[in-house]
């Protein structure tokens, strides 16, 4: 199931951005699993991290997980 969700999220990311995903934010199980299955193996930044989102150059939120890059 993690691979399928990662593919969906990666596709959504690729439609909006052309750089790799560097971090994920959200529930440790969901975001951590997503991080493991994404191509770029982004770093898990915790359950919520407003600082990471404010400092990011690009980010999206899908369901209850946010992904981005610095």
Tens of pLDDT, residues 38-53 = 989 999 988 877 777 7
Q: How many domains does the chain have?
A: 1
* Residue 13 resides in a domain: yes
Provide the 8-state DSSP code for 26: S
Bridge partners, 54 (sequence order): none
What's the predicted TM-score (pTM) here? 0.84
| pLDDT > 80? residue 65 | yes
* Residue 48 resides in a domain: yes
* Residue 50 resides in a domain: yes
- Structure confidence at residue 4 as a pLDDT band (50, 70, 90): confident
Across 60-70, average pLDDT:
88
Residues 57 and 70 sit within 8 Å (Cβ to Cβ):
yes
* Residue 70 resides in a domain: no
Angle 10-64-1 from CA coordinates, rounded to 5°: 55
Residues 35 and 43 sit within 8 Å (Cβ to Cβ):
yes
Angle 53-58-60 from CA coordinates, rounded to 5°: 75
* Residue 40 resides in a domain: yes
Residues of the domain holding 24: 2-65
* Residue 56 resides in a domain: yes
């Amino acid at each position: 199931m993690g691979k399928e969700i990662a593919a969906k999220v990666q596709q959504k990311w690729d439609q909006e951005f052309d750089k790799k995903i560097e971090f994920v934010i959200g529930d440790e199980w969901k975001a951590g699993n997503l991080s493991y299955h994404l191509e770029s193996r982004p770093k898990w930044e915790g359950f919520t991290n407003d600082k990471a989102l404010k400092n990011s150059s690009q980010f999206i939120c899908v369901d209850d997980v946010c992904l981005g890059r610095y």
